[in-house]
Each structure stands twice: as C-alpha cells, then as structure tokens.
Structure 1
C-alpha cells in the first residue's frame, strides 16, 4: 500500500495543452491538485511505488461474478456523466475539480480519454470508470458506483477488453494501491519497474477499434 513517503510531486503547474498533458502521461507522470480536495495548484506526480493491475492478476469473487450478470456495459457513450459521477463532492476523497473535468473532456475529444459505463437492467448509469489510454496502457483516473459492485464490474470489463485486444502486454495503472484495489489483484512496482512496463506496453500492438 502507498505511504506518504512514497508520494512525490515532481512538478507544479497546469497546461491545458493536450500534447503536453499526454507527454507527461507517457513519461510516467499523472496530475493531481496540491490544494484541498484536489484544488490548485496542480502537481505532476511520480510515486516511488506504483499500483498496477497486470494480465492474469485480476481477482473476481463469486459474488462479483453474480453481480455482473445484472449489469450491461458500454464504452465512451456517457464519458461526461462518468466523470461527473467520479467528481461528486459527496464522495470521500473527491478531487476532480471543474478544471480537471475540462482537461479530461479535451483529452476525450482528442481520443485519449475513455470511459467504461455500467448500467442496470433499465439502462441507467450505476457506475463506471475513466482514464487515459495509449498503446496497451490504461491509466485509471477514477471510478464510482451507485450500486454495489458496479465500479468493480467496470474494472473487470476493462480488463477483459485489454485481454481481448492487447494480448499479454497491457498494464492498468491505478497510480497507488489501496486495500480495496489489492483485493482485486492490484500489485505494486517500483518507479523504475513501472517505467519499463509502461514503455513495453506503450509499444504493444493494439487493435484500432479498442474502444468501439
């Protein structure tokens, strides 16, 4: 699990330029506000220990498998709604400010940011996740649920897409591990191990219809 001493902001400042933001992600950095509740100024972070989900690592309990039978899944159909669900200020640890939401919307419009939506039997959005994708890398930014197991189900669905379309070189970067994520099979890499895995996954062959 990540400890405070493992966190390191390597730069402070914000640029809304999509190319610059993606250069930072490819260098192993991710953005998060230094102020209260994710407020400014924005820092670019490079934890010394990184939480990742790797091929074959996902743990799906029997109860989660049962829950998944009650859900349907879509991709990129409700990106803004997923971000809004993750940004809900009533959620503990909410950090997605209006500035972050605009940045992710720009990244989505440019084809870099994607969402997995979880819907109930009536088609209502009850959970999901979103993140940044390049090569066989998916940098998970946040997830939410309005029904039990909906966010976990989104992660299982994403893992299945990666298995199907990226082979065995994919990596889901969850930035840092938590007991909740560890229960799903998230493990930890040192910063150097993460960068090596990131660069190998970035160059992996990926279907052009990954997020269809």
Structure 2
C-alpha cells in the first residue's frame, strides 16, 4: 500500500513540475553498509519510483541527526537547478551534439524531423522549446532521448524538465510566431503536457 501511495505522490510531483529529493531514512538500521549495499538500495528506490529518476537520493537517520546536513545541501542544489537558465548558444550546442549522436528516425515515407533551434522559455520547472519542421516526426522515444541528453550534458538534477515541440508550419500560421508561443507557455501544467504532445 505504501508503494502505491509513494508512486501517486511521485506522479503528482512530476505532473506539477515540482523539485524533489528522495530521502531514505533509518539508514542506521541497515547492517554491514557499504557501497554495494547503497547501490542495491538505490536500484530498489529507482525501480519503485522510476518516474523520479532525476531526483537525487540522500541516506539519513533523522532521529540521530545523521546526514541531515546533506539533506539541506541537496535541497539547496535542487532549488538552484530549478531556477537555472541555459544560454541559447550552450543549449543549441548540446542539441546539435545530441542530433549528431542520434538523428531523428525516418518515417516510412522517408521524412525525417529537423530541429532548427531550441531555447529555454521558462524556469521552475526548466522548460525548453524545440522549433522543428514537424513535431509529429519526433516520436516519444526520441523526445525521451533528447531529455536524457539534456540532463546528462546540462544537469537539472532534482527537477522535472519540460520539452515543448513547435512545428514551423504551426508557427507560420500563428500571427506573431514567437509571441504566440510565449502566450501558450502561460498554460496550466496539464495544458502544457497536452501542448507538448502536439
């Protein structure tokens, strides 16, 4: 029952774009602790809370005050990561390296998605807008790959990140282009997820 509740809380954290730190308490009750033990418990936590694979884990014993300072330090890092902005030049360098490593897949008709550029549109959570030829040419697997690359190259530990995909044709139809996109970013979190899927 506890795992179901934990997972529902994890889903809500991700959905609402909140920062998160996973604290494993009562660490003093684990016998013969070593790196292997910590790895085993981390894998167990990661498996149960897969949706929060970006959240750092801290082991502590709250009643004895062990590693409480590590919790505070880690929470401070999470807060900084949530508010961090990447310059467009650094962001596009990361994106170009990711595209060179793994190009978007071709459709059966031979079409392939192209990324023109990317910009960070918001913080808390960090939100990135990809301007592309056709958002439909980027399947969910490729979008997850790009999120993984962004995290491995640029960080953002402890915070969900949002990737929004904007088709050039859609932007050209909208009067104002970038201004229309900025207005759309003021949607509620659930609306943002719907927009991200288009």
> TM-score when scaled to structure 2?
0.29
Larger radius of gyration: 2
Structure richer in strand, relative to its length: 1
Higher relative contact order (CA closer than 8 Å, sequence separation 6+): 1
Question: Which structure shows the higher helix fraction?
Answer: 2
Q: TM-score, normalised by structure 1?
A: 0.28
